[in-house]
Amino acid sequence: MKTELEKPALISRKLTHRFGDKVALNSLDLSIPSSGVTALLGANGAGKTTLINCALGLCKPSSGSITVFGRTPGEIDTKHLVGVMLQDSNLPDLLTAREQIELFRSYYRHPLSSDEVIVRCDLGHFVDQRYKKLSGGQKRRVQFALAIIGQPKIVFLDEPTTGLDIGARKIVWNTINELSDSGTAVVLSTHYLEEAESLADHTIVMHQGELVANDSTNNIRAMASGAVIRCETRLDINSLLAINHVQAAQIVGRKTEIRTDNATASLRLLLQADSNLSNLTVSKSSLEDAFIQLSQSQDTGQTQHRDTPTGENQ
Amino acid sequence: MSVFANETGAEILKAVRAPEFIFPTLLMPCAFYALFAIVLSNSGSNATYLLATYGVFAVMGPSIFGFGVGVSTERERGWLQLKRAGPAPAYAYIGAKLVTTLLFVMLALIPVYLIAGFAGGVALARGTWFALFAIHLAATVPFVLIGINLGFTLGSSGAVAISNIVFLGLAVLGGLWFPVFAFPSAMQTLATFTPSFHLAELALAVVGAPGERTSSTNALTISIMTLSLLVLSLWTWSRQKQ
């Protein structure tokens, strides 16, 4: 990738957004490269949608700044550079896909031809049906068509595959890859780790309005590739941390939780160190879990237990 | 211009494809007019007076429902949000809806006029016909503004309910169905606060049945109401954007 040499597509500085008392984005500093796919990964309430809405000019930051290709979001010239698929956005039921495409085409200065969009999004066999009659996956593909019709330089996709079955999801993934290959920057928000892994060159992890990690997806996957060992042991935290590959350890009730980047190696040493070790389980850590813990250990200098919902892989 | 043409085309298609919403607003005025002005009427002059007031009634349906229910539904579905994220001009959306509304207003008015002329024996000078039609068309503006305010403030189910109440309330209070002088005096006072009442008096004056106010008083009152509604709708619109 050559992204290092290019100017970023999106830059935010101390971007903060509040809804009443609730802080949706907390002093976010980040940049998004102008090519490739960037995933915004995080649970509900992480601030992904608010970030996208700020980038579109749909919500004004409470403080801080955000620019898209150096321009202010929401200005007419910026809007011509941006395509979007919003999370809760339904098109008029009574218009056909083709009619919606023709209408949206007329908003842009240099739009693609309708026929090209229909081919690229594979709308051919339902393009003349009313929107109401389409399946969930077909509706998303029509929305996707509207996102790319204006030949934008950056496309924001807010949870493009939420609620779709695997087949429909794969079709959307293919279209996203093709879009990225054609040189358009793609920003997609998701709470599916697998989606970030299979699509994104770059992943931004968010949690409760804060930036947790911003790196290449490969690095992030590597950082989160570890496992969590749970067991009852007489070893204290310090001697656990001294074991090879152990990254963090904490005591939760009677059990000890040990995070490691190499479960096999750590386990071998652990069993040597405590022959009475019992109630052993080993589980793969989820990306989000790993980063929540990571961010907290950065904040406080020690690990703590925290109740966060796992099971993001549905 | 092509944006505007496209938006208008889309608006007309949406309206035509929902005949269950269109037909009542088009049929009710001429059905009611035929019933009260001709079938149940015992005096020939009634048909003329009621043409003036039922014309205003015919304008209200497409204006209030088209904007009130239409805008709130599209806002709630996130369609307006998507347009706003893209470079869709707001004037084209509102303008297209206005043109479509005027089209349906004419479709609602023409049958009422035809019934009046052919079945009701209403005889007016050619200039009077046109003046009456012009007043009825112009009546679209304040009712559209009422619809816009409802559409930008209410959720879609609320908009349906409130639009109905406003629609029926303005029709009855404004004296569009029964003359205002038949009301108790409190209701007569209330009537003077509705745009429908002043529009009906304007139309009645054209056909030779002026109320106790001069037409310029009616016109001034209507203008002030329209201007206030415009200011209010600009405010609700900008509140949308924040």
CA–CA separation, A282 and A247 (whole Å): 15
Residue A108 corresponds to which tokens in the numbers above? 């842009």
Write down the pLDDT at residue A294: 55
CA distances from B165 to B65, B68, B114, B159, B186 (A): 11, 12, 29, 10, 19
Percent of chain A scoring above 90 in pLDDT: 47
Model confidence at A303, in pLDDT bands (50, 70, 90)?
A: very low
Any A CB within 8 A of B20 CB: no
Give the residue-averaged pLDDT of A156-162. Answer: 91
Cβ contact B242–A60 (<8 Å): yes
Cβ contact A84–B86 (<8 Å): yes
Sheet of strand A10-19, all strands in order from the earlier edge strand to the far edge: A22-32, A10-19, A63-68
SS3 percent helix, strand, coil of chain A, rounded to 5, is 35, 30, 35
Tokens 């309005």, residue? A209
Cβ contact B242–A130 (<8 Å): no
Å from B84 to nearest chain A CA? 8
Is A175:A120 a contact under the CB 8 Å cutoff?
Answer: yes
Any A CB within 8 A of B85 CB: yes
Any A CB within 8 A of B82 CB: yes
Percent of chain A scoring above 70 in pLDDT: 88
Cβ contact B14–A90 (<8 Å): no
Contacts of B18 in chain A (CB under 8 A): 94
A251-298: per-residue pLDDT in tens? 888 888 888 888 888 889 999 888 888 899 888 766 656 666 555 554
Cβ contact B79–A91 (<8 Å): yes
Residue of A nearest to B8 (CA): A103
Average pLDDT, chain B: 91
Q: Is the pLDDT of residue A306 over 60?
A: no
CA–CA separation, A222 and A147 (whole Å): 32
Helices (H), A228-277: 237-241, 263-273
Cβ contact B242–A89 (<8 Å): no
pTM: 0.81
User: How many CB atoms lie under 10 A from the CB of residue A165?
Assistant: 11
Is A81:A153 a contact under the CB 8 Å cutoff?
Answer: yes
- Domains of chain B: total: 1
Longest dimension (CA), chain A: 73
Residue A192 or residue B89, greater confidence: B89
CA distances from B196 to A296, B204, B228 (A): 64, 12, 15
Is A189:A219 a contact under the CB 8 Å cutoff?
Answer: no
Q: Is the pLDDT of residue A12 over 60?
A: yes
What residue numbers bound the domain in which B15 lies? 2-239
Report the residue of A103, A128, A129, A155 to disrupt the B interface, i.e. the one with the largest count of B CBs within 10 Å: A103
A211-245: per-residue pLDDT in tens? 888 888 888 777 766 788 899 988 888 888 888 88
Pairing of strands A246-252, A227-232: unpaired
Long-range contacts of B102-105 (CB under 8 A, 24+ apart): B102/B137, B102/B140, B103/B12, B104/B15, B104/B22, B104/B25, B104/B26, B104/B62, B104/B66, B105/B58, B105/B59, B105/B62, B105/B63, B105/B136, B105/B137, B105/B140
Give the residue-averaged pLDDT of B112-129. Answer: 92
Write down the pLDDT at residue A2: 45
Write down the pLDDT at residue A302: 42
Any A CB within 8 A of B10 CB: yes
Write down the pLDDT at residue A118: 94
> Which among B2, B13, B81 has the least Cβ separation from residue A89?
B81
Percent of chain B scoring above 70 in pLDDT: 98
Contacts of B69 in chain A (CB under 8 A): none
Write down the pLDDT at residue A4: 46
Is A99:B10 a contact under the CB 8 Å cutoff?
Answer: yes
Terminal C-alpha separation, chain B: 27
Any A CB within 8 A of B84 CB: yes
Write down the pLDDT at residue A305: 36
Give the residue-averaged pLDDT of A87-97. Answer: 92
CA-wise closest residue to A164 among A148, A185, A143: A143
Residue of A nearest to B77 (CA): A90
Q: Is the pLDDT of residue B130 over 90?
A: yes
Terminal C-alpha separation, chain A: 32
Is A93:A132 a contact under the CB 8 Å cutoff?
Answer: yes
> Which among B6, B14, B87 has the least Cβ separation from residue A102?
B6
Question: b/e string for A37-47 if b means 16 or more Cβ within 10 A?
Answer: bbbbbbbeebb
Residue B179 or residue B105, greater confidence: B105
Tokens 């949308």, residue? B240
Å from B15 to nearest chain A CA? 9
ipTM of the modeled complex: 0.86
Contacts of B89 in chain A (CB under 8 A): 107
A199-216: per-residue pLDDT in tens? 999 999 888 898 888 888
B159-216: per-residue pLDDT in tens? 999 999 999 999 999 999 888 888 899 999 999 999 999 999 999 999 988 888 899 9
Contacts of B6 in chain A (CB under 8 A): 102-103, 106
Contacts of A102 in chain B (CB under 8 A): 6
Helices B215-241 and B140-153 pack at an angle, to 10 degrees, of: 30
Å from A103 to nearest chain B CA? 6
Contacts of A106 in chain B (CB under 8 A): 2-3, 6-7
Residue A283 or residue B49, greater confidence: B49
